Structure 1
Amino acid sequence: MKRILNLFILILFLSVHAKAQSVSVEATIDSLEILIGEQTKIKLRVLAGSKQKILFPQFPDTLVRGVEVLDTSKPDTVYYNNKERIEIEQDYIITSFDSALYYIPPLEVFIDTIKYESNPLALKVYSMPVDTLNPDQFFGQKIIMKTPFVWSDWYVFILCFVLLAPVIYLIYYLSKRLRDNEPIIRWVKVEPKLPAHETALQEIEKIKGEKIWRQEGRAKEYYTSLTDAIRRYINARFDINATEMITSEIIEHLKQVEDKEALKDLNELLQTADLVKFAKYDPLMNEKDASLVNAIGFINETKKELTPEELAAPTEIKVVEKRSLKTKIFLGGGILLFSISLIALVIYIVKQLLLFIA
């Protein structure tokens, strides 16, 4: 029984020893001698079983005193024997700024929590050779040289400032349009010129279609719309600024160009409208109908057809678009974002100019 136990221990020891023999850790260095500030590379190579856990050493910034680690590469892995064996290489870029002979101790690698060490290395760092026998070869500091002015160096900045002028004007234009609730692009619709009486009759037909006079409490609104249409007709037909005149002034001016019989119905209409607007008079339904008839009758009695030359002249009608609150917020946000971007661009250009001048 004791012999069997000793045999088992021997087999276990041999298996562990064989496993340990299967691990290889080797370190090499590209150059054993460098000048101050030059760089060289240490290559750490580990050969082990593919199922073993391998932990490479990590150096934050210093390998040994006087030798700095600049960078650590990613492990390079190669498999052998149907992926039963694995070889991993990792590079460490090192440098030194002190001339000396440095001893680099073995690098420690942990494999399945067992520590393995590589072979030690050495690094010789030389200082720059100085010819002390010929001091006349040493020169003092050079004076500061001013950069000559070249227009080609300023083309980009000049172009930026030239482009800023229309951009600033565009921001002002958009802001003003947004504030005044006007369209950014004015659409102009050209239509043939209509006679004054046709325009007035179209306005009255629109008033008839709305049927304001049949609604209770809207007499003032009805008479205001009706008299405004008549006043604009008088202005266009007789070249009398009726929109700025009171009833008596309109009648007096019209007496000079029209007979009194044609002005009788107009005078009645305007006086009734004054009573409604200023004396809160509430006319009957037949009075409202009569006012509408009087307005149409006055236009038909005083209308004047346009000559062929006047009909050929087009009339420009500007179409004004009203924006919703959502559209205003969207445009305002866009203008604000664009302005901030422009300011940032100007600051950047100014900084670059100052750096260039300095």
Structure 2
Amino acid sequence: MNRTIILITWLLLSSSRLFAQSVTVEAKIDSLQILIGEQAKIQLQVAMDAKQRAVFPVFTDTLVRGVEVVETAKPDTQYLNDRQRLLITQEYTVTSFDSALYYLPPMTVTVDDKAYQTKALALKVYSIPVDTLNPDQFFSQKGVMKVPFVWADWYGLLACAFLIFPLTALLIYFVIRVRDNKPIIRKVKIEPKLPPYQMAMKEFERIKNEKIWQKGRPKDYYTELTETIRTYIKERFAFNALEMTSSEIIDKLMEIRDKEAIADLKNLFQTADLVKFAKHDPQMNENDANLISAIEFINETKQLEEENTKPQPTEMTIIEKRSLRTKVLLIAGIVLLSAALVGTFIYIGTQLYDLLA
């Protein structure tokens, strides 16, 4: 009993393996009869296992003598049985110009180095029937048919025609630019520098309006205040107060002015040094007093003609020659535009010739 079961199982497995590996090759023709010059399609199908590889016959120009191969289509592949099987279809288009009954021999397909052949086919080619009852009757040639007007044929021409105008205008502009080669003239307005007195008073007004000391920043307040005075002294008395210490500035001023004129300024510098280096916290009235002292120093030392002086802005004319790079770019643009216009005219001419010929 056990031997019988084992034998049946082995037969089933063997048969299923043989079925899975079976290869079928078939050739069909869509028309058995054609007229001279007509075409027929031969369909070659191979069914095989998905893992197998097939090699189809290759025909260069003739299938057999008298039957020509017009076209060999790309193989069409289709999977079957959950991608276990593969069906490949190859199509050949044939024709003939001699009336006869042609025998098409079996086609050979190689699958995994094993050759398989199809059945033979037949193709009957008929000549065009002739009116034997009226052999002298001839028909004149047909007249030339007029092609209907289609807007789609003119879209490219119209687009190129409209493109000619801006290209031509741009080309003319570039040519004029290169031909003139005029320098570039620019006018620059230069605002004059304010006199030291006016500049200092402008800065004091800004410091007063910002009220930096009320925001808990006395160090910034005295830094801006002393910087403004140092700048004024540098411009007014012609020595570099920006690079000098407070005591050096006071000593230098004493050589120029009387001691009473700079007494309040000396107190201002001392307070500023205490705030910046000793973290001194001055009172509000002390801050206001130091600002007033700075303004009084400016008023006492200013030059009389500075207060009402209103300098006028001057205008300079700068002449720049066009750079070589700009000229090269203009010439390159002219060359490209010229080539584009020539190509456009050639395209329009060829299209008109094709449409109107």
Structure with higher Rg: it is 2
Greater relative CO, 1 or 2 (CA 8 Å, sep 6+): 2
Normalised by the length of structure 1, the TM-score is 0.48
